[in-house]
Amino acid sequence: MTPSGPRVLVVDDEPQIHRFLGPALLAAGFEPLRAESGAAALELATRREPALVLLDLGLPDMDGQAVIPRLRASSAVPIIVVSARGQEEAKVAALDAGADDYVEKPFALAELLARIRAALRRASAAAGEEAAAPLRVGPLEMDAGRRLARVAGGEPLKLTPREWGLLETLAKARGRVLTHRQLLLAVWGPAHTADGQYLRVYVGHLRQKLGPAASLLRTEPGVGYRFGED
């Protein structure tokens, strides 16, 4: 089979992962690229410009956490961490560093492929292809230009500036996990990045106002929140 789809860079030092993921990505219409170290990943990312990176954290030459900001320094390529480190601290650190998503090993192939497709759709939208259109997700419609949100065609929701900022920040990252710190920094500023309880209160208020659309604000326990449908 000749690869012709988006390039997916798989960064992992376990040969069995490449033997499994390489053919699976190829069968799903992607072109797999292989790197077994952080240095090789950075070199390939520069030379081959992948559409997405699957990154393990346990690399032989450097911690995968250190690879994320180095990739981010020169590229907005979606990064999905695929790691056996399941602790909340590892997830938060990777997402705060700039990763777009986090999948624990062992993983289900169907779920990983779905997350890859979702990340690529988000990257395409962020490039401006859908920027001018109002956002519609399930029963919720948002018009960023007019700062309006309504549910199921009803009256505009009465949102405070902070509630609107929180909803807009989550919606712009549709499908991607945002950590507590990322949300607090974006909506309240650097002086409030440790105010996790403050954020939970506002999310509760926002869910009440969203009513039938409240399920769009999905909690990632111990990590943050994700906006979107299941």
Domain ranges of the chain: 7-128, 133-227
Quick check: 159 and 169 in contact, CB under 8 A? no
Determine the topology of domain 7-128 in CATH: Rossmann fold (3.40.50)
What pTM was computed for the model? 0.67
Per-residue confidence (pLDDT) for residue 173, from 0 to 100: 85
Q: Among 163, 169, 168, 165, which Cα is nearest to 182's? A: 169
Per-residue confidence (pLDDT) for residue 129, from 0 to 100: 45
Quick check: 31 and 8 in contact, CB under 8 A? yes
Return the half-sphere exposure (C-beta side, CA atoms, 13 A cut-off) of residue 139: 15
Per-residue pLDDT of the chain (230 residues; tens, 9 = 90+): 555 689 999 999 999 999 999 999 999 999 999 999 999 999 999 899 999 999 999 999 999 999 998 998 778 899 999 998 878 888 898 998 889 899 999 899 999 999 999 889 888 766 654 444 678 888 999 987 778 899 988 899 998 888 998 999 998 888 889 999 999 988 888 777 788 888 999 999 999 999 999 999 999 998 999 998 76
CA angle at residue 147 from 145 to 152, to 5 degrees?
110
SS (H, E, C) 169-185: HHHHCCCCCEEHHHHHH
Q: What is the spatial distance between Cα 65 and Cα 27, in angstroms, rounded to a whole number?
A: 29
Structure tokens at 32: 């797999």
Beta bridge partners of 83: 104
Strands 101-104 and 79-83: parallel
Structure tokens at 86: 């399941």
Strands 7-11 and 178-179: unpaired
**Amino acid residing at 141:** E
Question: Where does 133-227 sit in CATH, by number?
Answer: 1.10.10.10
Is the peptide bond prior to 106 cis by the omega test (within 30 degrees of 0)?
yes
